[in-house]
Every structure is written in structure tokens, then in C-alpha cells.
Structure 1
Amino acid sequence: MVSSEHNTIQNRAHYDALYSKLSIDGLLRKLERLDAFLADATATDTSWVCMYQDHFKDRLQGAKVLELGCGDCTNAAVMAALGAQVYANDISDQSGVLIKALNAQADFDYPIQYYQGDFLNLTIDETDFDFVIGKAFVHHLTHEQELAFLDKIVRLLHPEGEVRYVEPAINSAFLDALRWMVPVPGRPSSLQVSRFRAWKALDPHPDRDNSGAHYKRVGQQYFKDVLIVPIGALERFNRLFPKAKWNRAFRRKAYHWERFLPSFLRYRWARTQTIVYRYPKSQL
């Protein structure tokens, strides 16, 4: 099993290299056409569909938000443009470079505040956050780190605050095995045994439980209200025809069609899940 310390080092190296290739030009273009960007992304792209469901956009004006694993900073920039007071954290130095450039060139009501480094080792002076959020970052943590994060988060949240994660959903061993068989850019098929083994050795994701049941069980240790919303039971099949002109149209329709599936199929087949924790137990 990978140690938590080694996992952090591996993630930092991976994302420093990845984000060093980014510039804010694309981010600024998205902010210039924010309404159109959000209308498309929150209807089509899974992580945005998940994060922005339940009128999340409308709840951001003036809200105090801590984003963990802010990565390429797109979501941090969007929330700031929507009027939120955004505090962003990532282990990558390069995320901080992007935040600095954004603050210099974008017209935010509240400049984004950046915390660089391992969240568990940082002193966060602010408290009473309305939201602590993360898009696809928890599955980069070991189970030990995940619990330590939640222990710290509950001390930073407002008594009626909310944690909102978007994470992969691994609720079917069969579908998970099929997923590994389908190659995607940067990742070979598991059927290409030697290439897959070499890729896996460099993969920054630890082996861990990413099922809805796991997130529900963990959340109930710290929060009174836990909601797991599986998404992408049909949308996931868009990966079978990634270059089709109608791919994005299929994805938008798939989110609608899957509502008619029985709940156990939506859960078993889900590609992604929104995880919502409310009302920290330590503050009740």
C-alpha cells in the first residue's frame, strides 16, 4: 500500500508538470462568455453537471468558499466571477501561478486567495466557510488522508455549511473492469498488459474505495446530513464514440434519459457522483 506521504509527493510532481503547461488565456476567454460557458458545461460535462446541480450557481453570490484541489483553477475563476469569496488550495505551485495571473487580469469582486501546499499541514486563518468543495480530488487521497481532511474541514465550516465533492463512482466491479479495457488519451487499455502496468506504476491515484457506500459511511462519521447522487449511468457510454460530431448532444440527452432508469441501475452504472455533506456533527 502507498503511504500517505509518498502519495502526496507523487501527486505534487505529477500536477506541477501538468499545470506548468497551462496559461490563463483560455480561462479568460471562458470568463468573457461566462453565461454561455456555464450553460454548456453544466448541461454536458460531467464534473460541471455534478458540481452545479441543485442551483449551486445561484448560491455563490457573496458565499465564502474553500476549494480543495483547485487544479487548473477554472472552477475557482468561475466561482469568483459569480461573486463568491474564493479561497483555493492545491499542492501544486503552478496553481498559485495561475491564480496570481487571474487576479491581475480578471475583474473579480473578491480576489482569489491561494493556499499552496498539503492542506493537512497548512494553517487556514479563515473559518465559517459556507462551502468546502472539491472536483475530483478525494480519489487522489489515501483513506487515511481522506479522514484527516474531513476532521479539519468540520472545524472550518459554518455550522450550516456544506461540503460538496464530485468524485468517480466505482459501484460495479464488472463495469470498472470494462472501463480499464477502454483506452483513453494518456492511458492504455488494461488488455495491453505491459503498457498498462507501466502506466499504473506512474499513476498518482492510490488504490482505494470510491463507491457511494464508502463516501456515505465516511460522511456519516462527521455530518448529520449525507447525500450521494450518482450521475452518468448512460452518459458514460459516450467514450465509445469520442470523435463523433454528436457526442456532446448524446451526453446532454443521456443525463435526461438516465432519470428513467431504476435507482439501483443509476447507482450501479454511475460514472460519477455528487457527494454532499451538511451540518458538521462537532457543531451540533
Structure 2
Amino acid sequence: MSHTDQNQEKNKEHFEKLYANYNISNILHWLNHLDSFLDSATTTETSWFALYQGNFRNRLKGKKVLEMGCGDCTNVAVMAALGAEVYANDIASASGEIVRKLNENYAFKHPIIFVEGDFLNNELAAQSFDFIVGKAFLHHLEIPLEREFLRETARLLKPDGEARFFEPAVNSRILDEIRWHIPIGGRPSKFDKAAFAKWKESDPHPDRSFSSKHWKKAGAAFFNDVRIIPVGTLERFSRLFGWGERRNKFKRWALKNEKRLPWALNSFFTRSQLIVYKGVIIK
């Protein structure tokens, strides 16, 4: 088995466990309060703020959309509730079970269609999607495999279609090295060599570039129009606040105002990014 295949197997095992027996009650609650959910999520949470920039919320109705790495299926459910015809793909079959439960418990105009397994082996029609999206998906792929996914993205998009990916950003080696030495969540500090090595062994993310330059160059092979939008430069300081409205107030201010920062500064310090690919290059 190749290293890439081993990484894919690790990803599959990780996400099968993560989404096994997933409770969809929160998703259904958000769908039943969709406007208020999106008003909050797209102004306080980096991934939602990033992906839904550029009036994306209002552009979805009647469009055909594919989400790569749909995970817990929250975003595919929201897009379907907004009137899109949604195809949801994930390596984990557990995500397909979430889709089944959502379709049974919510009256979408277009039931969500689950595309199971290795995305590259599914025979979806060329030039059939208005949008292809991914929330923290590409960075799970080793770079040679990522190139194949971007090639397939270009094949599946309509000539005027658009791909939107929210991904982590690492544009400073110094900041990245500092990050690894600060324990967070279930990740130990790099100072604790034994614990860090054990955590790294189970981590599904491959060692690869997360830089904006990488995704700009990778996209330019298949798209004429490539845009990288930094997200989270100021919002990262929300961790200094406790949970609650005070923290959300800071997040709203930070996400709204960080785009006013000089590009070089914003790009250097950002912790995430929206990658937009348009203008498919016909080969």
C-alpha cells in the first residue's frame, strides 16, 4: 500500500469513528432557525464567515452544489435548506448515514445526494456543478492527491462555475513553530516529545504545505482566476476572551475589520483563508 493510500485509510478510520451514531438534533434546530443561525455563524465563526463571503448565501438557491469532505453534514444541510441541489461527498460512510437521517427528518426541496467513498472514482458528469465547496478539506490530502482533486474540480464545474475552499493558512514558519509548542485541545505541546509523537501518529493530517502561495500555484494549473482571502488575523485573539457574548462581539468586530489591514500583514499573520477558483482552463 502506498503512503498516499495509507493516509487515506487513516483519514477514513478517523472520520468513521468521529461521525458514527452522530446526533442530528442540533442541525435540525439550526435548519428550523436558519436565518438566525446564519446571521450568527457568518459573523462570528471563521469557516462560515469565509465560505459565505460574497453573498454566497443568496447565490445558492436553484444551484447545483458539490461539497467535498462533507463531514458532519451541517453545511450541506444548510445549503440544501437554502434551496440548492446538493451532492455531499465524504470518504466516511458514516456521513452518508447522517445524510439519510437529514433527508428523513427535514423537507428539503431537493433531497441531499450522498456520493460515497473516493471522490475520484465516482462518475459524476462533467461541467454539471455551479459550485464546488470544501470546509477544511484539501489540507487532509497529500499534495499529489490534492492535484487530482483540483483537476476533477475543474472537470466538474460549469464554465462559469466557482470553487470555494476554506483552509488553514501557514504563511510564517516562525508562527507555525510557536503554534506547535502551545498545547491546545487534545494536542500536546511539542516540548512534551513523547506525548506529541503519540498524538502525531494518530493525527489524520499529512505533513504538507498550508501556505497561500501553494494554493495559488496549485489552482493556477486549472483555473484562470485564483483569489486567496486571509481570514482570522485579528479573530485569533478571541481566545483571550471567555465564552459568551463578549467574545462573540470581539469576533464580529475582528472579522469585519481585519480586511482593512495591509495585505502583506494580513496574509503573514492569518490563521486561515478562503480560496476561490474560477475560470476553468480547458485542456
TM-score range, shorter chain: over 0.9
In structure 1, how many angstroms separate the alpha carbons of the residues matched to 2:142 and 2:126? 26
The answer for the alignment partner of 1:100 in structure 2 is: 100
The answer for the alignment partner of 1:179 in structure 2 is: 179
The answer for the alignment partner of 1:246 in structure 2 is: 246
Q: CA deviation at 1:245?
A: 5.7
The answer for the alignment partner of 2:201 in structure 1 is: 201
The answer for the alignment partner of 2:79 in structure 1 is: 79
The answer for the alignment partner of 1:46 in structure 2 is: 46
Superposed CA offset, 1:229-273 (max 9, x none): 011111112234454662222211111332332211100011110
Q: Per the alignment, in what secondary structure is the counterpart of residue 282 of structure 1?
A: coil
Superposed CA offset, 1:71-101 (max 9, x none): 0000000000000000010000110000001
* CA contact 1:50–1:274 (8 Å) conserved in 2: yes
In structure 2, how many angstroms separate the alpha carbons of the residues matched to 1:34 and 1:246? 23
In structure 1, how many angstroms separate the alpha carbons of the residues matched to 2:241 and 2:193? 23
Q: Which amino acid aligns with 2:201?
A: A
Q: Which amino acid aligns with 2:52?
A: Y
In structure 1, how many angstroms separate the alpha carbons of the residues matched to 2:189 and 2:245? 24
The answer for the alignment partner of 1:62 in structure 2 is: 62
1:95-244 alignment runs, 5 A limit: 95-125=95-125, 127-241=127-241, 243=243
The answer for the alignment partner of 2:31 in structure 1 is: 31
Q: Per the alignment, in what secondary structure is the counterpart of residue 178 of structure 1?
A: helix
In structure 2, how many angstroms separate the alpha carbons of the residues matched to 1:248 and 1:3? 41
The two structures have a TM-score, normalised by structure 2, of 0.96
In structure 2, how many angstroms separate the alpha carbons of the residues matched to 1:148 and 1:52? 25
The two structures have a TM-score, normalised by structure 1, of 0.95
Superposed CA offset, 1:201-238 (max 9, x none): 11000011111100000111100110000111111122
In structure 2, how many angstroms separate the alpha carbons of the residues matched to 1:242 and 1:18? 27
Provide structure 2 residue ranges, at least 5 long, that are not aligned to the other structure.
none
* CA contact 2:84–2:110 (8 Å) conserved in 1: yes
Q: CA deviation at 1:185?
A: 1.7
In structure 2, how many angstroms separate the alpha carbons of the residues matched to 1:261 and 1:164? 23
Q: Which amino acid aligns with 1:250?
A: F
Q: Select between 116-125 and 57-66 the one with higher mean Cα deviation.
A: 116-125
Q: Which amino acid aligns with 1:189?
A: S
Q: Per the alignment, in what secondary structure is the counterpart of residue 71 of structure 1?
A: coil
In structure 1, how many angstroms separate the alpha carbons of the residues matched to 2:168 and 2:242? 19
Q: Which amino acid aligns with 1:81?
A: A
* CA contact 1:222–1:280 (8 Å) conserved in 2: yes
Q: CA deviation at 1:176?
A: 1.2
In structure 1, how many angstroms separate the alpha carbons of the residues matched to 2:243 and 2:195? 24
Cα gap change, 1:245 to 1:109, in 2 (>3 Å): closer
The answer for the alignment partner of 1:276 in structure 2 is: 276
* CA contact 1:64–1:85 (8 Å) conserved in 2: yes
In structure 1, how many angstroms separate the alpha carbons of the residues matched to 2:184 and 2:21? 20
Q: Which amino acid aligns with 1:194?
A: A
* CA contact 1:8–1:118 (8 Å) conserved in 2: no
In structure 1, how many angstroms separate the alpha carbons of the residues matched to 2:6 and 2:231? 32
In structure 2, how many angstroms separate the alpha carbons of the residues matched to 1:7 and 1:63? 33
Identity %: 47
In structure 2, how many angstroms separate the alpha carbons of the residues matched to 1:176 and 1:248? 25
* CA contact 2:127–2:159 (8 Å) conserved in 1: no
In structure 2, how many angstroms separate the alpha carbons of the residues matched to 1:173 and 1:242? 28
In structure 2, how many angstroms separate the alpha carbons of the residues matched to 1:242 and 1:218? 38
